[in-house]
Amino acid sequence: MELFSPGKINLTLDVGKKREDGYHEVETVMQTFDFGDVLCFHERRFGFELNCTQAPSEELFLIRRAYDLFCEELGSCPGVRIRLEKHLPMCSGLGGGSSNAAKVLLGLNKLYKAEFPKETLIRLASQIGSDVPFFLNGKRAVARGRGTQVQEISHSSLGYILLVNDNTKLHSQDVYEKIDEMEQEEPKTAKFIDALEKGQSVVPYISNHLEKAAFELAPNLKEIKEKLLTQGALTAHLCGSGGSLFGLFKTREEAAKAKLVFREEFVYILSI
């Protein structure tokens, strides 16, 4: 059995105060896109085997965590071999590890006919990481709390994004620690959703509170943002805590023209 594991961008990311559990209060609009990893599942008599030579240990840990929680809920440990084909840039803010973990829960549920309801899978996903519940459904949704309270919203077309990654690696913990030193910005998520529901332009409300912190840690990312805007992007922002960025364009042709100036970076054009 094979499952597609998409990446995501944050169309908004409002960061609030740090919680007692160490996480920050967030409100974010996330959206998956048609580019990502692939997970292949094979039954085996016993034991867990994961084949992937490219993924960092943190992402592999999330997959193993998903398997362990599934087994705990099931009351037994069915044997499985999982092959992970990585296509998303790693440590990039595109949610690859969280997406993989969500697809492991869905894949095991289908492979072994456990028939766990959506509520159970959401509970398990919430124990793995903040973005994991979102990837159970994907599409476009708003996530609140520490990111585990997910609600789907309108998926009307916004245009095309040019995704850019220059292989800068940022750790979420470093970015969030940096933002704690900064003044909180105005939240934009509610305004984004309101404009989306009214059929108005959402461009003024696309934002990411983590940008300033990430740009201080990696100034080259700010240069990529400025480059995207110079090439005609309607807006350009950091993905998650970095280090990928996206520029929003009206047409695929405009995005393709802008792509030509990025010669050394990973670039990809996607509709959203």
Question: What single letter denotes the amino acid at residue 147?
Answer: G
The helix (run of H) or strand (run of E) holding residue 259 is helix 252-259
Q: Which two tokens stand for residue 258?
A: 């802008």
From the number of C-beta atoms within 10 Å of its C-beta (0-12, 13-18, 19+), residue 61 rates as middle
Helices 118-126, 57-74: inter-axial angle, 10-degree rounding: 140
Q: Which fold has domain 160-271?
A: Alpha-Beta Plaits (3.30.70)
Pick the CATH number of 2-152 from 3.40.50.970, 3.40.50.720, 3.30.230.10, 3.40.50.300: 3.30.230.10
Which of 14, 37, 103, 131 is flagged as catalytic?
A: 131
Which of 8, 103, 178, 259 is flagged as catalytic?
A: 8
Q: Is 257 a catalytic residue?
A: no
Q: Is 8 a catalytic residue?
A: yes
Q: Cα–Cα distance between 218 and 222 in angstroms, integer?
A: 8
CB 247 within 8 A of CB 228: yes
Per the model's pLDDT, the better-predicted residue between 19 and 64 turns out to be 64
Mean pLDDT value across residues 31-53: 92
- Domain ranges in the chain? 2-152, 160-271
- Confidence at residue 58, expressed as pLDDT on a 0 to 100 scale: 78
Q: What are the pLDDT digits (tens) for 92-115?
A: 899 999 999 999 999 999 999 999
Mean pLDDT value across residues 60-76: 94
The pTM for the full model equals: 0.93
Question: What single letter denotes the amino acid at residue 156?
Answer: S
pLDDT band at 34 (very low <50, low <70, confident <90, very high): very high
